[in-house]
Structure 1
């Protein structure tokens, strides 16, 4: 009886170790409508926070273990999550088909800037769209200044009087998701992907957050509405990461 028990235990542990073993997963991404190959599709392993893209033939290869989830995203197509199974490993390359979306573009109104020829006057007429982040020595949180952020002073004061409570409420409930921030920043494929995106989809998928959650985190970390609205996904990742590091420092000091 003891021998059977040991044998079952051994098989169980072998099965677990096999399931957790990394394999090179290969496949081809195609348009579901006409089977056309899709080049430069972004693929992220949500479990291991590793990324890659498809080549000119629509092919990709990425490290993954059984039960890992691969996240496929491509401009103009519905994002897709695919779980790695034993069948995938058994049969080798598979075809992943993505569905095209109908995108209704909003009307963009371009307002001309009429210059007078006088430098002092024209410098005030030309709009500035850059977001600037400032930090005061001794404060745990940074802030944004300038005409686009009239509440900067009040936000600095709030960071003085309430340095840790809001950070704990934001990050304290999500330790597992937040640990993925560093992995995302270290993966060049993911950084390149986020630099060209503004939809927050990849961030939401990896961090298991909704769009309002991301906006709330940035708001609580004293980022302006203008920054939250206009920053690309890589800037958003860096902003959340900085805020999380501040939270960990403050939490250790409690």
Structure 2
């Protein structure tokens, strides 16, 4: 009899575990000021690294487990994080409010060349040519990004043999966050989302780094300042991912030698 009770108990625990693994949450995202539904809000499960967007009624559905964190972002609105609760999974849809941001437009100054007709004077006004190489990048067709002439491997190698190096500290001490890079690259919704963004917000949230460290990682991986300033978030993701894969490869090689 006891054996049967233990067997039933095991089945119940397994069923509960499977229910949590296969759970989905449903929700409606609305404008906090007038309760109107918000279409195309970006929702990312930070734990599972999967994404989705709301439909024209503000509705969404995404795979989630208890205590997963959902990150919601929408242009012109304050981004928020929402924790998935057992009640949410059990009882169905929930309304989530986003608050509009008050944005102030900054003055933009456009500098034009004022030619004098004297070659020696005019030539000094022409910006120096960019001597960075240009590389292709996944996710973009017919375009590329810039990196300096010096091999990007140089600083990655340095981070392996110098434990105090910035890349070693970032890659070595944040393995769980960096493992998300592969999942981010595999999820089409997240890739499409990042391809249209330039604010680095999603990357910072997923990788648990601030903007300064994020830019520093790309810089230490030997990408140019021009690339860092103009690249979209997908390009930054691919740049960091490639650099991290090189770091892991070199790190394993060093460990075997030791």
Using structure 1 for the length normalisation, give the TM-score.
Answer: 0.78
Task: Name the count of aligned residue pairs.
Answer: 236
Moved more, 165-174 or 64-73: 165-174
Mapped to 2, the partners of 1:201 and 1:229 lie a distance apart of 14
What is the correspondence of 1:164-175 to structure 2 with a 5 Å cutoff?
A: 164-165=160-161, 166=165, 167-175=167-175
Mapped to 2, the partners of 1:22 and 1:128 lie a distance apart of 55
Question: Contact 1:182–1:241 (CA<8 Å) still a contact in 2?
Answer: yes
Aligned to 1:72: 72
SS in 1 for 2:27: strand
Question: Per-residue displacement from partner, 1:100-119 (whole Å, max 9, x unpaired)?
Answer: 11011211122346799xxx
Question: Per-residue displacement from partner, 1:95-151 (whole Å, max 9, x unpaired)?
Answer: 1100111011211122346799xxxx99x958989974469xxxxxxx824xxxxxx
Aligned to 1:138: none
Question: Contact 1:115–1:125 (CA<8 Å) still a contact in 2?
Answer: no
Is 1:81 matched with 2:81?
yes
Mapped to 2, the partners of 1:16 and 1:186 lie a distance apart of 25
Aligned to 1:148: none
Question: Contact 1:51–1:62 (CA<8 Å) still a contact in 2?
Answer: yes
Mapped to 1, the partners of 2:223 and 2:182 lie a distance apart of 20
Aligned to 2:45: 45
Moved more, 106-115 or 199-208: 106-115
Is 1:144 matched with 2:147?
yes
The change in CA–CA distance for 1:156 and 1:187 in structure 2 (over 3 A counts) is closer
Using structure 2 for the length normalisation, give the TM-score.
Answer: 0.77
Is 1:187 matched with 2:187?
yes
Gaps of 5+ in 1: 136-142, 146-151
What is the correspondence of 1:98-137 to structure 2 with a 5 Å cutoff?
A: 98-112=98-112, 132-133=133-134
The change in CA–CA distance for 1:196 and 1:128 in structure 2 (over 3 A counts) is farther
Question: Per-residue displacement from partner, 1:1-51 (whole Å, max 9, x unpaired)?
Answer: x88x959x84766655544x2222211110001111111100001011101
SS in 2 for 1:162: helix
What is the correspondence of 1:20-39 to structure 2 with a 5 Å cutoff?
A: 21-39=21-39
Shift of 1:161: 7.4
Mapped to 2, the partners of 1:44 and 1:177 lie a distance apart of 15
Is 1:211 matched with 2:211?
yes
The change in CA–CA distance for 1:160 and 1:177 in structure 2 (over 3 A counts) is closer
Structure 1 outlier segments of 4+, above 2 Å: 9-19, 110-116, 124-135, 155-170
Is 1:162 matched with 2:158?
yes
